[in-house]
Amino acid sequence: MMELDGKIAVITGSDSGIGQATAEAFAKAGADICVTYHTDEHGAGETLRRVEAAGRRGFLMRADITDPASVFAMFKRTVEHLGTPDILVANAGDAMGESKPVAELDNETLAHIITIDLLGPVYCAREFLKLRKAAGGRGRIVFIGSVAGHLPTPDSAPYGMAKAGVNSLTRSLSVEVAADKINVNCIAPGLIATPMTARVLNDPEKRAKSMESIPWHRPGEAHEIAGLALFLASDAADYVTGQTLVMDGGLTMHWGGA
């Protein structure tokens, strides 16, 4: 049941990490992919190679999810190249935003974090839903959130606030589009081994400290998040909507010494 034969997926930020792994997993399950990137065209090209190696169609699209016009163009080109998308994986975002206490944040940094990590997913969902409603409904939205939306995030409060907003968006939107039979869910990863977390995981001291808070005593892998995204995008998850599924090796249960 975890097949996506003939489906079309838009996966934002699919040039590396979770997005790249998800694009590859979806292609192997039978989906055609709009591969998007913001700055890493080389990484996106590698993702496209993997999609095509799986025997599926794909194309590259540079997109800025903070710009509604760019998001509109991303979906317009997807329709032109592949057809109306069935699946949106809203993965693109900032790693943790700038680490500063709120009292020291400038307006530009605050606005950037909220725009890329909360408004960006809204812009993407809005254009996707317009297309799905015009096509008669059905479809899947998978937001990629973060455990930061569940845990206190000192010195990164705007990032946590934005990710908590994505959790709320997931719940509200799932009810809003239930009549259209469009499933809306969110994955909240913990510490995942990706290029964006390399600065932590490649530092022995920082890595050891991070592992102390994770009962599984290891970081997650991008392909593990991709596997959950595949489930949520497939018919196997038809009765799952409005949920934020935490995938963190037990971090949120262990937080605070529990």
Compute the CA torsion angle 250, 253, 256, 258 (nearest 10 deg).
Answer: -110
> Is 239 assigned a catalytic role?
no
How many angstroms separate the Cα of 208 from the Cα of each of 25, 116, 204, 214, 256? 30, 30, 6, 10, 17
DSSP for 171-201, please give it: HHHHHHTGGGTEEEEEEEE-SEESGGGHHHH
Backbone angles phi, psi at 88, to 5 degrees: -120, 125
Closest CA to 13 of 83, 110, 116: 116
Residue type, 235: D
Residue 34, exposed/middle/buried by CB under 10 A (0-12, 13-18, 19+)?
buried
What CA–CA distance (Å, rounded) separates 250 from 27? 29
Distance from chain centroid for Cα 120: 11
Check 37, 123, 159, 239 and give the catalytic one.
159
Question: Annotated active-site positions, please?
Answer: 159
